[in-house]
Amino acid sequence: MFTRPRRALPQYRRPAEHGGDLSRMKERSQAPFPESPPSASELAERVVRAADREHPADDVLRAELRGQRSLSREAGAQVSKLVFSYFRWLGWLDRGSPVRERINHAWDLAERYAAQPQSFTDAELLSRAVPDWVATVMKPSADWVRALQAEPRLWLRAHRGQGRAVAEKLGDCRVLGAGSLGDTLEYVGRSDLFRTGAFHAGAFELQDINSQAVGFICSPRPGEKWWDACAGEGGKTLHLADLMENQGLLWASDRTPWRLTKLKRRAARARVFNYRATLWDGGPRLPTKTQFDGVLVDAPCSGIGTWQRNPHARWTITAQDVKELSEVQTRLLLNAAVGVKPGGRLVYAACTLARSETIGVVAAFEERCPHFTREPVRDPLASVAAPCDLLYLWPQETGGNGMCVAAWRRAPG
């Protein structure tokens, strides 16, 4: 329940005791009061109406909340929950009913699932939680769709060796494990982490647990040269730099300038200085002639693995998109592999679980590049895990985004 703030009474100048302009006074007295700020439901409805394939719900939501300067943090969080609940439970909603009714119905379903998840059958969830075409690109399981319908967990990555100190400073944190995993934290509190002193001091980053797993699998050493070929806004770049103890050289590239601008801001806050950011369109002309000890290709993908955190994407991505993106991923991997020095490592990661974007891409790459030998990959987040040729990280098992990871070693000489 969020109450609207009281409307401020308009300020009027007192009329002159003699010769006051009565007509102007009357006009002012009839002026409307300032409008009250919209409610959480009204804002959620605006976002739902505006979101489509070209305008992802999370982008529309951010823009809408930025425009509401007087909105409290709690109210903004409520708007976000209403919007994401709507798309998470879209398969249960009557498209013919008014949008506000659908939003309220979705919220009721979300609360029911949180309290009584078993009141939804596996068959019901499999048939309604994801589009029908998903079964043509992967094998959806009941455990997977149940994870998609739950609220996502919030993961943090503290700087190397600072996990427990950050957990104590923030409070409401669960430390994942010992050693390097001691810097992976789950935050269960309600504070706005972006306003904390620890965040502004660069003590931690918000980073999904399986995204952190990719950095641990790369395992770069201080003094090495690495290239994060599809760096985006730099989450994995900053992790690689931290693992390298800010020593050596790290290249970060992306095709979008604004993402690299955001990466630079994040790197400055995190005090990362051993990197170079540059544009790369994914083509055969690489941004540098440097030969790297390791190259990470965290390729753009369908994002099926992010559907718990980003439920709107379930209803905008198509099977054709998956096919086209798998071709893009293969091309990126082939081009980036040229930058791996003899004896160096190549790591492929994608937050998807579709066969063509995982097994298919790996097979296509190995057919073209026989001088790269697959290396077994072990889940670094599991206390006991056998290495495998292609690692799948599932939301229901890890509490993070779904991902796949493969790694190769280039033949020496």
**pLDDT per position as a tens digit, 364-403:** 999 999 999 999 999 998 877 789 999 999 999 999 999 9
The residues, ordered by sequence, that sit 6+ positions from 253 with a Cβ below 8 Å of its Cβ are 227, 228, 229, 230, 231, 260, 277, 278, 279, 280, 287
Bridge partners (DSSP) of residue 295 are 227, 346
Strands 403-410 and 340-350: antiparallel
| 213, 189 Cβ separation under 8 angstroms | no
Both tokens of 45, joined, read 């409805």
Check 230, 351, 369, 404 and give the catalytic one.
Answer: 351
238-250 pLDDT, tens digit each: 999 999 999 999 9
pLDDT tens for 155-200 read 999 999 999 999 999 999 999 988 778 999 999 999 999 999 999 9
CA distance linking residue 129 with residue 233, whole number of Å:
29
Burial class (CB in 10 A: 0-12, 13-18, 19+), 264: middle
Q: What is the DSSP string of 1-49?
A: --PPPPPPPPP-PPPPTTT--HHHHHHHHTSPPPPPPPPHHHHHHHHHH
Torsion of CA 343, 232, 282, 272, to 10 degrees: -50
Beta sheet of 154-158, edge-to-edge order: 173-175, 184-187, 154-158, 204-206
Could you list the pLDDT tens digit for every one of the 413 residues in the chain?
A: 333 333 333 333 333 333 434 343 334 334 444 456 688 999 999 999 999 999 999 999 999 999 998 888 889 999 999 999 999 999 999 999 999 999 999 999 999 999 999 999 999 999 999 999 999 999 999 999 999 999 999 999 999 999 999 999 999 999 998 877 899 999 999 999 999 999 999 999 999 999 999 999 999 999 999 999 999 999 999 999 999 999 999 999 999 999 999 999 999 999 999 999 999 999 999 999 999 999 999 999 999 999 999 999 999 999 999 999 999 999 999 999 999 999 999 999 999 999 999 999 999 999 999 999 999 999 998 877 789 999 999 999 999 999 999 999 999 97
Q: Which of 174, 336, 166 is nearest to 242 (CA)?
A: 166
The SS3 of residue 207 is: coil
230 is catalytic: no
CB 185 within 8 A of CB 163: yes
| Widest CA span in the chain | 99
d(CA 120, CA 139) in angstroms, rounded, equals 20
Helix (H, G, I), strand (E, B) or coil at 120: coil
Amino acid at 313: A
- Angle, helices 73-88 vs 99-115, to 10°: value is 90
* Interatomic CA distance for residues 225 and 83, integer angstroms: 42
Instruction: Give Cβ neighbours of residue 388 (< 8 Å, ≥ 6 apart).
Output: 376, 377, 378
pTM of the entire structure? 0.88
What's 94's DSSP letter?
-
* 251: helix, strand or coil: strand
The answer to whether the beta carbons of residues 349 and 405 sit under 8 Å apart is: yes
pLDDT at residue 36, rounded to an integer: 62
